[in-house]
Chains A and B, each alone.
Chain A
Amino acid sequence: MLTAAELDALRLSLQVALVAVACSLPAAVAAAWLLARCDFPGKSLLDAVIHLPLVLPPVVIGFFLLLLFGTKGPLGGWLYEHLGIRLIFTRWGAALAAAVMAFPLMVRAIRLALEAVDRGLEAAARTLGASRLDVFCSITLPLMLPGILSGCIVAFAAALGDFGATITFVGNVQGETQTLSLAIYSLTQTPDGDAAALRLVLISLAVAIAALVVSEALARRVRLFIGRA
């Protein structure tokens, strides 16, 4: 039914998107915390930088990543020399590109969830003997769970669908960086590739719908868990 290349693209897309979401989650929570709860010089700057992927063309973001993480770039060069890690042309680079594009969406959702947590509950927890870290882990985080979940789903969808940043940063390497978006793009350039492209489009649609359904079910469970019927 599906050719090897198409299966590759599907498997790769899922892998890249999952890795992107999982790795950016802690950073997103930290960023949301900084923006929601802290005040420091340069806070607006941080906010602006985090939201750049939303306003800049994806190709520009990909280009930035290329400058930074290419084998000759400041960060990419260091990674290659000291850890033997190369990001360009690899699925990890694709995950990075997807993660950067999805990051602002994740931060927004998590920040909203954080701001919705009743500070009074946190104060109550402290009076019961919990340190600030303890309060975060035992009270704040569980109550943020629905928001974190929705942030992950949105980020997953954005990561899955990224094209411009991925192709600019890590190129189109079948089996390694050719996600569903890139595969569809290649196929639409190929004469008589329309049928195959359509197949992949339907697969992408199916994945997106499945993600939505799963997220709805999970969200309902979590809402019950934290006691909002």
Chain B
Amino acid sequence: MPTLRDVVLAASAALLALLAAAAGAQSQAQSQQRSLAQAPAPAAGELVVFAAASLQNAFAEVGRLHAAAGGTPLRFSFASSGVLARQIEQGAPAAIFASADEQWMDYLQRRQLVATGSRKSLLVNRLVLVVPADNVASVTIGPGFDFAALLGKDGRWVTGDPSNVPVGRYAQEALTRLGAWTAAKPRLVRAENVRVALAFVERGEAAAGIVYETDAAVSKKVRIAGVFPPDSHAPVSYPVAAMAKHDTPAARAFLHFLDSEQAREVFRKYGFTVR
């Protein structure tokens, strides 16, 4: 028979485990990148916004401004654009979708899921190479640059899964154009989205990572070792649109708000280029 003491100890152990997990989950860099986004159930009058992981910080702030300005309360879901697009395709009740590349918006458009006339390309980002903050290496990224040297003997680099995450696609495109993809591919760790990739570099597990400039900016634990020349990849463009099945005036109002000077200032602050 377990004594009271044993039961208390066992319960404490489980509680400790849960607290530790919660503590870890709350730390900035790790909090939302783990959201293998569940479809949120919208409360009445809430607007559901699906946005790429790299838009996390900026959109959260814009959302607050939107609410302060008397707009409909927003419920966000941040994840890899591919994950979100597939969820919308399966019927997730998103009213707005902001993707990190045009391809995933095209994907939905082909399936008649985008509200006519609501799509516009909002922001532009840059692709950078980051390393853990204590690594002072700097590299000029150009044709034939030696990626392997940066990684060392057995180091690995991380970015979003090139098969479906926008940042990974851009990275593969850039590295291929620069002739470094074949050497780099075997060392690649595929992350579910750009923030997960960032976290790996922050923790020092990955020797390097390819993320957006805006992501590198929000993290103190990484530093930018190099910037990818814009002609090495398709422009990192963020289309945003209302979804056909939930095209409401409130949705359109939010889209309009994204264009406002208030919102643009926020985006610029975080390092995006606004069209």
Contacts and interface: CB of A to CB of B under 8 A. Distances in A.
Given a CB threshold of 8 Å, the question of whether A touches B is answered with yes
Interface of A: 42-45, 47-49, 52, 55-57, 59-60, 63-64, 66-67, 70-72, 86, 88-89, 167-168, 171-175, 178, 186-191, 193
A45 B190 contact: no
Given A52-B14, A72-B203, A44 B164 contact: no
A186 B24 contact: no
A190 B203 contact: no
Contact of A86 (B2, B154, B186): B154
B63 interface: no
A171 B191 contact: yes
B189 A171 contact: yes
Interface in B2-47: 2, 6-7, 9-10, 13-14, 17-18, 20-21, 24-25, 34
16 contacts: A44-B2, A45-B9, A52-B14, A52-B17, A60-B21, A63-B21, A66-B203, A89-B189, A172-B189, A172-B191, A172-B192, A189-B83, A189-B163, A190-B82, A190-B163, A191-B107
Given A186-B190, A187-B163, A193-B163, 12 more contacts: A43-B6, A44-B9, A45-B9, A49-B13, A71-B204, A72-B203, A88-B205, A89-B205, A171-B200, A172-B161, A173-B189, A175-B186
**Size category of the binding interface on chain B:** 35 or more
B34 A70 contact: no
B156 to A, nearest CB: 5
Given A45-B6, A49-B13, A172 B203 contact: no
Contacts of B49: none
Interface in B144-165: 154, 156, 158, 161, 163-165
A67 B158 contact: no
A70 B165 CA distance: 25
B54 interface: no
Nearest to A63: B24
B34 A59 contact: yes
A127 B138 CA distance: 75
Contacts of B24: 63, 67
B188 interface: yes
Interface in B60-106: 80, 82-83, 86
Given A45-B9, A191-B107, A171 B158 contact: yes
Contacts of B9: 42, 44-45, 48
A49 B11 CA distance: 10
Contacts of A71: 204-205
Contacts of B17: 52, 56, 60, 64
A48 B205 contact: no
Contacts of A191: 82, 107, 164
A90 to B, nearest CB: 10
Given A171-B190, A189-B82, A47 B10 contact: yes
B156 A48 contact: no
A186 B14 CA distance: 32
B164 A189 contact: yes
B6 A189 contact: no
A189 to B, nearest CB: 4
Contacts of B203: 66, 70, 72
Contacts of A44: 2, 6-7, 9-10
Nearest to A172: B190
B204 to A, nearest CB: 5
Nearest to B199: A66
Given A63-B21, A190-B82, A191-B107, A72 B164 contact: no
A189 B37 CA distance: 12
Contacts of B163: 186-187, 189-190, 193
A88 B154 CA distance: 12
A72 to B, nearest CB: 5
Shortest 9 CB-CB contacts between residues of A and residues of B = A44-B6, A48-B10, A172-B190, A189-B164, A60-B21, A190-B163, A171-B189, A190-B164, A44-B2
A49 B10 CA distance: 8
